[in-house]
Structure 1
Amino acid sequence: MSYHYLLDIALILISTKIFGLLTSRIQLPQVVGALIAGLLLGPACLGWLQATDFLSQLSELGVIVIMFTAGIGTDLKELKQTGKAGLLVALCGVLVPLGVGAALMAVFNRGEFAYPGDTMLQNLFMGTILTATSVSITVETLKEMGKLSTKVGNTILAAALIDDILGLICLTLVTSLAGSEVSIWIVLLKIVAFFLFAGVAGVLAVKALNWYEKRVHDRNLHRFPILAFVLCLLMAYLAEELFGVADIIGAFAAGLVVANTSKAHYIESKFSPLSYLLLTPIFFASIGIKVEVPQMDTMIVLFTVLLVIVAVITKLVGCGLGAKICGMPTRQCVQIGCGMVCRGEVALIVADKGMALNLLNPVFSGPIVIMIVFCTILTPVLLKVVFKGENRYEGLEQSDLVDTYELKEQFDIVTDRLLDEEERRHEKQKH
């Protein structure tokens, strides 16, 4: 058995912390520092770290925990209110990249880059790749800036989750036309079934947790985070394996369930150290570690530059347009558009699927990777710029101030101490 993974984790933790502090010094989110650390230590630069199955699995667990805690910290009423805006933002944020991406591919998908098969489907597939949005980077950045619980933050959350569903439908539709055995109707049925399952499971889980709370009367409080984490992992697993929906949607749904219990703050406070100390740094660093820059000629470099520009502008314009239709102020429209720019592992998975079905020429894989990395690093920077000048409480209702990080931190520290003391006192009484 090799213990090299211990050294890998140590390097990731120290490097992400150092670069996170450096980026915070220049008024950038620490997420950017973690991404840069992975990029520098990975195969793209120094080559000290390599992508392994172990790091990939820890990384996946990291994004699940990020979305689970985001769900716990989400106001369900506010999420419902932003549902219509989220739907329009997601719809425009899918249609605009899909159309412009397909048009860009049509210009280059000829001559020496022509690939056997249906050219129209190949063009549409490039557009499908551009529809993807990675919400985890945006969530962590907004959380760091204290903007996750705002109207903009909730709209981005709702839009990104709907975007995943729409992207999955686009992927299934294009691959079905390419001769894949996947049926669009089966996919739609599974998506509907998942949300029905999540609703029923959520109601039952809230009742079970509330019943258990009455039984224990604040004894054995440490069991609540364990039960909540089990629920998170089960819903993430079932979403991915049984319903074909992204595991992060299952984790977010589990977080919303926990948010409706009286122990939500206590559970969230117990997850913060796990996320902050281990899983979150590994997740963000692993994105950079997976990057391998291929050799490219002049035309591919040109395509890469145009692909990056299209990827940024189409999400910014498309999602901003959706927010504007809903009557939101221009500043908030720009903030929402910037929050939806980020791509991630979903785009890579879609690209791999396209190459397996001969819908994507392998020479375009390099530009896609560079586009994903650029958007991933650019998104936190853009968010910092467009939120500049706003204080941490701007955009929050007065009643929601207790949930912002500066006040909530102090509240949680005192609460945790009281609960831990109560827990220890009950343990002594039992023995």
Structure 2
Amino acid sequence: MPHEVDLIILLAVGFGTALVFGYLAARLRLPPLIGYLIAGIIISPNTPGVVGDIALANQLAELGVMFLMFGVGMHFSLSDLLAVRRIALPGAMLQIAVATLMGIGLTMWWGWSFGAALVFGLSLSCASTVVLLRALGDRGLLDSVNGKIAVGWLLVEDLVMVLVLVLLPATATLLGGEAPVQEGHTAADQNIWLTLLLTLLKVSAFIAFMLIVGKRLIPKIMLLVARIGSRELFTLTVVASAVSIAYGSYVLFGVSMALGAFFAGMVVKESDFSHRAEEETLPLREIFSVLFFVSVGMLFNPSIIVEQPLQILAVVAIIMLGKTLAAMALVLFFRYPLNTALTVGASLAQIGEFSFILATLGLSLKLITPEAQNLILAGALISITLNAFMFTAIEPVQRWIRARSHLARLLERSGDPLAMLPDEVDQSYLKNQVVMVGYGEVGRRIAKSLQEQNIRVVIAEENREIVENLRNKGIAAVSGNATEPAVLIQAHIMHARMLVVSPMDILYVRRMAEIARQLNPDIEIMLCAENIEEARVLEQENIGRVYYAKTEMASNMTHHILVQMGFDEREPASKAAH
């Protein structure tokens, strides 16, 4: 077959197969990337039938890696990370260490070298951001405290993996692999510590350049192009920025294209057009992501499932049990509730794109063998497929634990000082107060207005860091999930005049309202709905007075217009017009 059409054949077969199996995976309520991986397996040289050009697939996969990292950079939010830094930063670092040590211990028991064991362990330690965001989004948990902790945790993992991708080539010879060839010689020709020092200096120089020059230059270029009004030119500007920075980082600073693409995404996020840039480039990023997962599938040899089933089971056990239990233990150690521990544990019970990138790099540096890469791919396929069941098991496991009071007392935050109001809070303060559940943007605005009028407020918030900050400011606050009676009791709901609930899942709202009315039948309840459908349901159930953002905005704007137009605000406009 003519070489000139190999690329077209690969794209046609790859996209077509990925479409079919991605659709089937979605119908089975699994992440579509499972279907993309299976599509790659089907057209790989390791299975009969149509065979794609794996060399071309690998080149396209490089673009896929760049766009994946660009997307990670665009989604990286320092503010989100800082909001949960006290648990996400130490928790993720310790969890990576524990999972990596488990992988090293297992593979060295199998007789692998330390370098191979290290790359393998690191590959098992990092969960997939793509899978996590999909799982949390499907369950409406993205904006919850548990969801923010899980996302912040994975942001730390992503940053650690970016650092590993930078340092691994420089330390390859020290770990028993082969350093990449650069400028006619390898890093093995130099002292390994000198190579490592030069690598860190180059990375530091690149980061400084991006923060000083790139952060100012790229947004200005985007502004100039946006003023022209051409949609395709704007999209081209964003894509050209991503690819050019990735390539320039490799040529000028000697750092990986993946790191360059990551910082390109971070720089674009700083622009006023970040949302538009994300929207315009999303189809292109997803297309190349599909190619990446298909190419990864093409590297997988299914025969390993038959030949090494026990090894695969051991890998899956580390991913789905070892990592999960380690993460849960760390979350509980930081005195977060059991539900948070179970959510974070389920979130980490899988591996994905960074594992594939790291395995591919390890293979190219001769640190791991194709067998190790196949074990990683098998672990990813199985763990991603079963991850949905981990989330489904959260509620039953939580009920089972709480049905055993001794176990619940052991695991829950016994003696947690933030779970109850401090002794300094005067008992006279806890009468006719407003109990506010949640201290997000809406909650902050309401609380500030009430405090300006000297109205007493008690905040019930799951995020311990927020509770600590509130107490430092002299504001009464308790830590915990307000769907648990103990939390509302600590907020003295029985003496409160009002309960104000910030936007959250409607099931939680019902539970809070039920507990509040049991403890205080006369309490007035005010609810914030996230959308018009929820507002209608809450109004029909007569749980409390419901507020919906767009309705309130329309009401306030209408009121202002009527006042400015000279109508009496107490009479309808139609009557005033006469």
With the shorter chain as reference, the TM-score category is 0.7 to 0.9
Distance 1:378 1:85 in 2: 28
In 2, are the aligned partners of 1:71 and 1:252 still within 8 Å (CA)?
Answer: yes
Shift of 1:124: 5.4
- 1:7-56 deviations in Å (ceiling 9; x for gaps): 22111112111111111112111111111121122223234123432221
State the match for 1:204 in structure 2.
213
Shift of 1:295: 7.5
- 1:329-357 deviations in Å (ceiling 9; x for gaps): 212330342255772131243245345xx
Distance 1:283 1:164 in 2: 18
Distance 1:227 1:148, change over 3 A: farther
Q: Percent identity?
A: 20
State the match for 1:127 in structure 2.
118
Distance 1:376 1:304, change over 3 A: closer
1:139 maps onto 2:129 in alignment: yes
1:157 maps onto 2:161 in alignment: no
Shift of 1:271: 0.9
In 2, are the aligned partners of 1:132 and 1:347 still within 8 Å (CA)?
Answer: yes
Q: Which amino acid aligns with 1:176?
A: L
Distance 1:305 1:214 in 2: 52
Distance 2:384 2:72 in 1: 17
Unaligned runs of 5+ in 2: 178-187, 395-437, 443-501, 503-529, 532-578
In 2, are the aligned partners of 1:323 and 1:336 still within 8 Å (CA)?
Answer: no
State the match for 2:66 in structure 1.
64
Q: Which amino acid aligns with 2:217?
A: A
- 1:200-254 deviations in Å (ceiling 9; x for gaps): 4244333234444665672244433333323322332355556565433321221
Q: Secondary structure at the match of 1:287?
A: helix
Shift of 1:70: 3.2
Matches within 5 A, 1:209-228: 209-212=218-221, 218-222=227-231, 223-228=233-238
Distance 2:252 2:334 in 1: 35
Q: Secondary structure at the match of 1:344?
A: helix
Equivalenced residues, count:
377
Distance 1:313 1:125, change over 3 A: farther
Q: Secondary structure at the match of 2:203?
A: helix
Q: Secondary structure at the match of 2:161?
A: helix
In 1, are the aligned partners of 2:235 and 2:280 still within 8 Å (CA)?
Answer: yes
1:287 maps onto 2:278 in alignment: no
In 2, are the aligned partners of 1:83 and 1:158 still within 8 Å (CA)?
Answer: no
Distance 1:321 1:341 in 2: 23
Match of residue 276, structure 2, among 256, 266, 279: 266
- After superposing the two structures, state which structure 1 stretch, 27-36 or 216-225, moved more: 216-225
State the match for 2:380 in structure 1.
376
Distance 2:44 2:376 in 1: 16
Distance 1:214 1:164, change over 3 A: closer
Distance 1:127 1:316, change over 3 A: farther
TM-score under structure 1 length normalisation: 0.72
State the match for 2:389 in structure 1.
385
In 2, are the aligned partners of 1:28 and 1:381 still within 8 Å (CA)?
Answer: yes
In 2, are the aligned partners of 1:128 and 1:167 still within 8 Å (CA)?
Answer: no
Distance 1:335 1:244 in 2: 38
Q: Secondary structure at the match of 2:30?
A: coil
Q: Which has the higher helix share?
A: 1
State the match for 1:330 in structure 2.
341
In 2, are the aligned partners of 1:94 and 1:163 still within 8 Å (CA)?
Answer: no
Shift of 1:155: 2.3
Q: Which amino acid aligns with 2:362?
A: V
In 2, are the aligned partners of 1:37 and 1:288 still within 8 Å (CA)?
Answer: yes
Distance 1:55 1:174 in 2: 25
State the match for 1:427 in structure 2.
none
- After superposing the two structures, state which structure 1 stretch, 208-217 or 153-162, moved more: 208-217
Distance 2:362 2:40 in 1: 22
Distance 1:134 1:55 in 2: 26
Q: Which amino acid aligns with 2:263?
A: A
Distance 1:396 1:62 in 2: 39
- 1:156-207 deviations in Å (ceiling 9; x for gaps): 1221221342476578557426595562464255336424532442443332
Structure with the greater alpha carbon radius of gyration: 2
Aligned-CA RMSD value: 3.9
Q: Which amino acid aligns with 2:157?
A: A
Distance 2:334 2:255 in 1: 27
- 1:105-155 deviations in Å (ceiling 9; x for gaps): 44332xxxxxxxxx8xx24531332212697x8233344443778522232
Distance 1:396 1:124 in 2: 47
State the match for 1:34 in structure 2.
36
State the match for 2:568 in structure 1.
none
In 2, are the aligned partners of 1:79 and 1:154 still within 8 Å (CA)?
Answer: yes
Q: Which amino acid aligns with 1:77?
A: S
TM-score under structure 2 length normalisation: 0.56
Q: Secondary structure at the match of 2:271?
A: coil
- 1:72-106 deviations in Å (ceiling 9; x for gaps): 23333113445565543443344324433333344
Distance 1:159 1:43, change over 3 A: same
Q: Which has the higher strand share?
A: 2
